[in-house]
Structures are given as C-alpha cells and as structure tokens.
Amino acid sequence: MWGNAEAQWCHTLQPRIARWLPTGNVLEIAPGYGRWAQFLIGLSREYMGIDIAENAVDACKRRFATEQHARFVVNDGRSLEAVPDEWADLVFSFDSLVHVERDDIQAYLSQLVDKLAPGGHAFLHHSNLAMYPVRGLTRWDEWRARSVSADTFRRDCSDVGLRCVSQELIPWQRTRFIDCISVVEAAPKPSPPGSSTTPLPAVPASPDTVVVMNPYFSLEGLSARRIRRIYHGDTPSQTPVAGNTVGRVMGNRDEAAKWARGWLSFLGAALRSTTAKSRPL
C-alpha cells in the first residue's frame, strides 16, 4: 500500500513516535529481517532486537554487522530475559504482534513493567480482532490474533501495573478496525520502605486511556505511494516500463485497484467510526 518500507516509515511510523526519537536504548520485539531496525538503529544509542525466528536473527546480524551498538537475540516468542531491567527507553513493535494471541501478549506486558526505563514508552501494534466476535462467511481477519482486542490489552496492562496511555484503532485495507496501536508507559513505582525519597502519590495503573478510531489509516498508504514519485524520484516496482502497452495497462489497473480498495476501506471504516465513541489524541 505504501510502496516500500521507507515510505511507510517516513509517512506513517516516524511521525507517531517522533517525540521519543532519537533516544537512548531501543528494544524491538519481532524485528524480522530488519524492515524497521534499519531506521531505529540510527536513532538509538543502543538497539536490541528480539525475535523467535533464528533465521531472521541471523540475517539481521549479517545485515547490520557494522553497527556496533546493535545486537539481535533469539527468544521463545514471549521472553524478554535478555533485556536488562529498566533498560528500554523505547519498546517498538509493528506488524508482528498482530499475530500473537493474548497469553503471549500478557507474558510480554508482565515483563515490560520491569524492562522499561523510567519515563520510557512502548509503541505496540497488536490485534483488535476480538472486538468482532461474529465473523462473516468470507475471510477478512488478515491472520490477526482472535483473542486480543484493545479492551483486553488495556485490562492486561492494568493487571501488571502498566499505563495504556493511548490506543489508535485502525483498519488494514478493510472496513473493520482489526488492528490497534497502543502506547504504554510504566506507572510510577512507590519508594521502598525506609527510603529518604519523598513517596510518590498513589496512581492507578491505567487511568483513562485516550482511544480514537482512525479510518484514514489506509489513505496514508495511498498518499505516501503517490508522493514518492514526486519527492524521491522513484516509482513502485510494479510500474511498467514506458512503451510497454500491455504492461502499462496492467500497471494502471493495479494502481486503480489499490486506490479503489483504499478508498472503500476508508469509506467503510469512516461509517463504522461514526457509531462509536472516540476522543481525539
């Protein structure tokens, strides 16, 4: 939809986390083959990527071998044991945890409360499919985890002492808001007994979370894809070579199909969002 990873990063992801970058230590959960690591590494003092796929970790080690402040670790899909306590200034995961069911999400959250540095935040993209208990006859879930929703995520944060600051519900080239991006921070910890530090006031683990349904998400991809041609001097890989009439027609159809799908997604999602309560971020 965006055309390439750089367009998606610059147009959609970086603006959402710009207030925390550059930063000290970045932990990325499930970096895969480094689609987002290539940008995060240069914006951090230290970077750690943790992934269940050993082949992906090996590939990242080769790809970023010259980055002395970056390291990649294999885990079991739910453990953050390799991360020192109070280490992570920013925890990032996009387009990976959407496939992870609630028990694994709970395992990660129960550890993040200790792994986040004071003042640190987590930017986590996860499933919201459980918001829709009734499904249609056709497949539209995009392989999202069926047991996770924005609501279950907020409750799980509260249970372990994390604050879910905000949630952005987004469609994924569909009309239903099957994804959610949650921003999380650690609640202030009370001073230990006998400490000379002034005790912190009691703060609920999850105060009111700002929740918004964003039907415009698909249009971000269409816009990024369009302006790439103007400002980056390149075109999507499937754009046909000039003079190839058949290729040009097929390329135009492909482009038209993407725009049609994007606008239909927007219109359907916008209609759905009008029936739900939301507050602006």
**Per-residue pLDDT for 246 more than 50?**
no
> Quick check: is 14 in a domain?
yes
Task: State the Cα–Cα distance between residues 222 and 258, nearest whole angstrom.
Answer: 8
Give the total number of structural domains in the chain: 1
Separation CA 15–CA 208 (nearest Å): 23
Mean pLDDT, range 109-123, rounded to an integer: 97
93, 157, 242 from 48: Cα distances, Å: 12, 23, 44
The kind and range of the H/E element at 263 are helix 245-273
Phi-psi region of 266 (alpha: psi -120 to 50; beta: other; left: phi over 0): alpha
161 Rama class: left (phi>0) / alpha (psi -120 to 50) / beta: left
Structure tokens at 132: 């829709």
Angle at 95 between CA 81 and CA 236, to 5 degrees: 140
pLDDT in tens, 189-202: 655 566 555 544 44
Q: Predicted confidence band at 78 (pLDDT cuts at 50, 70, 90)?
A: very high
CATH of the domain at 107: 3.40.50.150
pLDDT value at residue 3: 84
Say yes or no to pLDDT of 179 above 80: yes
Q: Is residue 247 part of a domain?
A: no
- Give residue 270's pLDDT: 62
d(Cα 13, Cα 228) in Å, to the nearest integer?
16
Q: Per-residue pLDDT averaged across 247-273, rounded?
A: 56
- Four-residue CA torsion sign, 230, 235, 239, 240: positive
pLDDT tens readout for residues 27-63? 999 999 999 999 999 999 999 999 999 999 999 999 9
What's the domain range around 156? 5-220
Determine, yes or no, domain membership for 230. Answer: no
Structure confidence at residue 186 as a pLDDT band (50, 70, 90) = confident
Is residue 231 domain-resident? no
pLDDT > 70: percent of the chain: 73
Residue 9 lies in a domain: yes
Q: Dump the DSSP string for 95-148.
A: SSGGG--HHHHHHHHHHHHHHEEEEEEEEEEEE-GGG--S--SS--STT--TT-
Residue 219 confidence (pLDDT): 87
pLDDT value of residue 139? 62
Segment 137-157 mean pLDDT: 87
105 within domain boundaries: yes
Provide the token pair at 205: 């683990």
Pairwise pLDDT comparison (2 vs 36), residue with the higher score: 36
Q: Does the CA dihedral 252-253-259-260 come out positive or negative?
A: positive
pLDDT of residue 172: 83
In this structure, is residue 66 part of a structural domain? Answer: yes
Helix, strand, coil percentages for the chain (3-state, nearest 5): 40, 20, 40
Q: What is the pLDDT of residue 203?
A: 41
Q: Is residue 137 in some structural domain?
A: yes
